[in-house]
Amino acid sequence: MTHLKEGDKAPVFKGKDQSGKELTLSDLKGKKVILYFYPKDMTPGCTAQACNLRDNYDALLKKGYAVVGVSVDGEKSHQKFAEKYDLPFPLLADDNKEIVTQYGVFGEKQMMGKTYDGVYRTTFLINENGVIDKIIKKPDTKNHTEQILSL
> Which of the residues are catalytic?
46
Distance CA 119, CA 100 (A): 7
Distance CA 151, CA 145 (A): 10
Question: Which 8-state DSSP code applies to residue 42?
Answer: T
Distance CA 87, CA 101 (A): 25
Distance CA 54, CA 59 (A): 10
Distance CA 116, CA 149 (A): 33
Bridging pattern class, strands 65-71 and 32-37 = parallel
Cβ atoms of residues 67 and 89 within 8 Å: yes
